[in-house]
Amino acid sequence: MRKTYHIRFTIDGRQVEMKLRAWARENQHYFPNYGFTNSQDDHPITHQIRDFCERNLNGRIDENERRVVIYI
């Protein structure tokens, strides 16, 4: 079974969770080498996004056999 990847963060005092690649599309400024066109090749892969969040946004990863959640 494939794992699903999500990111969880707080906006205006409430917790928001969304799919990791959707978050990357909304925060394209973190990934300037990608144009986010319709091509899969023009998006960062999930592990690149996860690693970025962990290194640059002090993301904490919670993982089980079905899902990965990054808390920032």
Give the tens place of pLDDT for each residue, 17-70.
Answer: 999 999 999 999 999 999 999 878 899 999 999 999 999 999 999 999 999 999
Say what the pLDDT of residue 51 is: 97
Say what the pLDDT of residue 38 is: 80
Put simply, whether the predicted model's pTM sits higher than 0.85 gets the answer yes
Q: For residues 29 and 12, what is the distance between their CA atoms, to the nearest angstrom?
A: 21
**Bigger pLDDT: 38 or 12?**
12
